[in-house]
Amino acid sequence: MTGVRALDVLIVDDDDADAMMIEEALQESTVPPVVHRAIDGTQALEYLRREGEFADAVRPDLILLDLNMPRMGGRELLAEIRGDDELTAIPVVVLTTSDAVPDIVASYAGHANAFVTKPMELEAFEAAVQKISRFYGDVATLPSV
């Protein structure tokens, strides 16, 4: 496995329990990713643009994005990311409790790379996160920007 390195993953989720479960599931990866977290879209943009306390932030290889958050929600953040030439190539997986058709359509229309509904059962939730991690860590070729 030459050249294998840990992914840098930004979790954007206001729910502490969900963020913790995502992080724990990611740690089961062959090469566990380095995980960063933002509690809403506003903080995520500060992180991505390396503003304020995030001046030394590492550009993530992957963003796991919840939709429903205070201040700036996932749809708005996705639009900001896709409208920013410096950020647009970062893969974004919407990982949310919603399975509403309008949310799915809007996410893909906003150029999300994938839409995954958070399973309610813990084992299924962990399995879904691990599949995302395996795909982006082991299968997909990511931009090296």
**141 found inside a domain:** no
**111 found inside a domain:** yes
What global pTM score does this model have? 0.94
Q: Which domain holds residue 106?
A: 8-136
**130 found inside a domain:** yes
**45 found inside a domain:** yes
Q: Which amino acid is at 107?
A: S
pLDDT at 58 over 80: yes
Q: How confident is the model at residue 1 (pLDDT cuts 50, 70, 90)?
A: very low
Note the pLDDT of residue 138.
86
**2 found inside a domain:** no
pLDDT at 3 over 60: no
Averaged pLDDT, 22-41: 92
**142 found inside a domain:** no
Note the pLDDT of residue 145.
60
**22 found inside a domain:** yes
Which tens digits make up the pLDDT trace of 99-122?
A: 999 999 999 999 999 999 999 999
What's 54's domain CATH number? Answer: 3.40.50.2300
Range from 10-19, 27-36, 115-124 carrying the lowest mean pLDDT:
27-36
**145 found inside a domain:** no
Q: How many domains does the chain have?
A: 1
